[in-house]
Amino acid sequence: MSTSTSTPKSDADFRLPTNVRPTHYDLTFKTDLEALTFKGYGIIDLDILEETKEIVFNASSDLTVSDVSIHSEALKTEQVQSATEVKIQKDEERVTVLFAHALPKGSKAKLHLGWDAKLTGSMTGYYYSSTQHEGKKRHYTLTQFEPTAARRAFPSWDEPLLKATYDVTMISRADTVNLSNMPVISEKPFLDASSSESDKDGKNLGKLAKMFSLKSEGTGDAAGGWKITKFERSPLMSTYLLCFANGHFEYLESSYTSPISGRKIPLRIYTTPDIIHQAQFSLDVKSKVMPIYEQVFQIEYPLPKLDTLVAHDFDAGAMENWGLITGRTSAFLLDPKKSDLAAKKRVATVTSHECAHLWFGDLVTMAWWDNLWLNEGFATLMGEVIIIDKVFPEWKVDSEFIDVHLARALDLDAVRSSHPIEVPVPDANQINRKLSFIFDALSYSKAGSVLRMLSNYVGEGTFLRGVSIYLSKHLYGNSVTKDLWKGIGEASGLDIPKMLDNWILKIGYPVVTVKESNDSITVRQDRFLSTGDPSDKENETLWQIPLNVKTADASGKVSTDRSIVLSEREATIPLDTSKPFKLNAQTTGVYRVAYTPERLKKIGEEAAKEKSVFSLEDRMGLVSDALILAKAGISKTSAALDLIKSLKNEKEYLVWSAIDSQLGKLTKILWEQPEEVRDDFNAFRRSLMKPIVDRLGYEYSPDDSADTIQLRTLAIAAAAGAKDPDVIAELASRFKHFQDTGDDSKIPADLLRTTFINAVRNGGRAEYETIKKVYKNPPTPSAKISAMLAMTASKDKEIIEETLKFVLTDVQIQDTMYFFSGAAANRESRRRIGEFFKENYDTITKMFEGNFSLSYLVKFSFQELTTEKDADAVEAWFKDKDVSKYNLALAQSLDTIRANAKWLDRAKDDVTDWLKKSKL
């Protein structure tokens, strides 16, 4: 075996050669949970598309590849050839195998090879997780292959376009459970399996057993014996969707009946025994959403079963492996007696999001990673809005989308270092090196927001028909953006590329400025930047903007004109401006609207009315636009505060959520201003939130609506954050009872996080140690997250330092981001977390090498700073670092700091004066 250090010279060289194409993988894995190693053997069927002596595939340097040979009946001489040379390109994660005799074009061949590797806790590839069992740590394994980690588990053509079928065989300890995408077709103890006849591919399991060094001791039924599990052949799918797992799992079971075929499809959720009691809710959601997806798409779920495996260690939230969804505990577990509504919503939306992928991503897969948005944008809209709304209409998820996904997308896309939804990714490995470059708010939230805007424009029924057409034409295949546009165009009769291309292919989004006369308005579009200063070059894009003009006549009758599309720089629209009007009705558009100060005041007055012509969604959008436009210098921050103050009698939770979110942003830029300014601003926040607390109280009832539950929770948290003494005292009293007795019955589940955070923030060592015990032995995933955030809330510098050290020694890798997020939210540790990151840079970057969290840690460490001096210092520190794995996160953090600095310079006197006047 030789090693090559050559580097590809062009973008095309990063993609695997097209001289051969895999059609089927026959894979056998032996997992040793005690030694934490695995071995594999594979037979890969290849179509030879060009005559060649050379075969190139992906394999990580984690794998030791051996025994490479190829079988081809097309060869007249040696039908089986051993490799004459094996070249390893470590950086490119590729292996080139050379053979003496060329394989003829148009022939078929079988590549045989073995490999072995260590199991690590990296949360990528084939890795191990663990839990406590009878006082000891017990390991189990699972896979996480998206985007390019299948090559860490087996040699493969690890590109989404190269779909193949899979036969998976697993050799494991007899007392464990094996899982994969497809159902088990046979499972035998090692002794039975090794004496069986060869299977149809000529692979003798006895020989495999010998290769894998299995000892034929006992009957195979004892804990120390081995068994061999074979799974049914999969349909065509991409490598990143293959999944397998081994461990001591238990399951809950349900099913649903396909509304299309009447077929009964079994559903299971697997966990380790200690947490199985919290898995029922996710299973129930899965059984409810699956038949709805089939009805909406008119395409049956094609696999024989659908399992979920819940893992204690998982990098992302969840993963849509076809037939075997995987994810972390907080994404799928819920104790109905102890979990809050927020946890319930998270489990439901994650479950539905992953089920959406069974069609968007699994059945129809993007051709390359530049079209990732086709997977994630659809799963966001379908899974978290359209489908889940049919199951939980009381949650108002379409409205909530504005304050979650739309706001998230508009925030990120307002910085210079943003990127288009669809962006060239010549090298799949860039996705690992620049994780946030693809798997970020733009692929998920902005893509979902653009699709929501399109659905609103053409009508949801038409939109879904177009989606069904798109899916039906690409079953088991791959697609690109234009394929989706064709489907929706066919359903709607509209030129979808003309309308949508710039939303997908161009960076940023517009702000629409409105000027008015008595009988018309003039609207103008420009690119919006949070710094408010786009150059002429940055402002070249013209979007097709559905203006959705809402008006009310003298009688108060409301109508919305959805036909007006702004496609030029400016346009004049006839309109009676003496009556109420608003653009972007229902806040379905992916843009912001800037009105004159006089018009904004009038809109605010109308929005504040008990029976306003402006809907819940309109009011949410108004609040968000007002403060963010002020941040960019387009309007004054004091005008946004006037608007918020005018809504003090608002009753809807989601409007208050938008208000709290925007005031939170202003709180962060004022964090180093004089104490008097901060105290005055907190007084304003208390004046808004405390009356809601007084009205709703602290007790939760089973009869409470979702709105009431969430508004009470929000108001108490916000009032406590604004230092309301009554609220802080009430929360402290409830925590004291828990601290003294261990009885948490006085802390409602929905107030657990706020109670914990305030106990540590306003308490001392005793409160901190109580919370630390909860972290180490949490009753639910939600309680664990609450404890982690609380541990970072202390004002005590000694405790802050202790917690930061704790992060590097006692915290699961997947949980580190919660500690960084909490430290960044705490003004007492906001600067310290950045210094901590720099002091431990080598340790942190090595710890998070290859997974999704590093980019988040960079952002949490620095983006809350608020001066140009800070931005310059951070930029200078990273000058000599290899930032390739987080370069976009760093650039976005620097842009955010500079935008915050400009906002602070513009707003500090304006806000100070407004606060003084508001006290009069």
Q: Which residues are catalytic?
A: 354
Measured on CA atoms in the order 755, 760, 761, 763, is the torsion positive or negative? positive
Distance of CA 26 to the CA centre of its chain: 32
Edge-to-edge order in the sheet of strand 570-574: 570-574, 520-527, 510-516, 592-594
Please report, as a single letter, which amino acid is at residue 704: D
651: closest CA among 714, 594, 698, 603?
714
847: closest CA among 878, 890, 811?
811
What are 534's two structure tokens? 């786009």
CA–CA separation, 111 vs 72, rounded Å? 9
**Taking a C-beta distance cutoff of 8 angstroms, is the pair 482, 371 a contact?**
no
**Taking a C-beta distance cutoff of 8 angstroms, is the pair 321, 243 a contact?**
yes
For residue 774, the SS3 value is: helix
Q: Which residues lie closer than 8 Å to 918 by C-beta, 6 or more apart?
A: 641, 645, 684
What are 80's two structure tokens? 């089986």
Distances (CA, A) of 685 to 519, 656, 692: 39, 11, 12
3-state helix, strand, coil in the chain (%, to 5): 45, 20, 35
Total residues belonging to the chain: 920
Q: What is the DSSP letter of 823?
A: H
User: Which residues are paired to 46 by β-bridges?
Assistant: 22, 109
347: closest CA among 359, 335, 362, 360?
335
For residue 246, the SS3 value is: strand
Angle at which helices 816-825 and 830-839 cross, to 10°: 140
CA–CA separation, 868 vs 874, rounded Å? 10
CA–CA separation, 356 vs 289, rounded Å? 9
- Residue with token string 């720089």: 569
CA–CA separation, 436 vs 848, rounded Å? 13
Cα-based angle 386, 390, 395 (whole degrees, multiple of 5): 85
Angle at which helices 725-741 and 765-776 cross, to 10°: 60
What are 864's two structure tokens? 């809350």
60: closest CA among 40, 36, 82?
40
Distances (CA, A) of 465 to 223, 491, 496, 593, 699: 53, 6, 14, 31, 45
C-alpha Rg value of the chain to the nearest Å: 29
φ, ψ (nearest 5 deg) of residue 517: -125, -170
